[in-house]
Amino acid sequence: MESVIPIIETDRLILCGCSVEDFPAMLHIYQDDIAMRFVPPGVIGREACWSLWLQYHGMWATLGFGFWVLDNQTETL
């Protein structure tokens, strides 16, 4: 089955959909006090983060748009 999520590549970045391999990095961000201090509801647990990951992934299939994963191809952005 072909993915509905487009992949956009530049010299510096790759924008793509989230994969299961991205979940640990997402969990790390969503459990970081500093990263989440202005994002309601703040730090969340593993189950809540997994639920969000499923929602983000499902948006592409359901709505035709959604969140991107940014993959830095250089040392600096």
Assigned fold of 8-72:
Aminopeptidase (3.40.630)
**CA-to-CA dists, residue 39 to 19, 22, 55, angstroms:** 23, 20, 17
Look at residue 76 and tell me whether its pLDDT is greater than 70: no
Instruction: Grade residue 2 by pLDDT with cuts at 50, 70 and 90.
Output: low
Look at residue 67 and tell me whether its pLDDT is greater than 70: yes
Tens digits of per-residue pLDDT, 26-64?
999 999 999 999 999 999 999 999 999 999 989 988 999
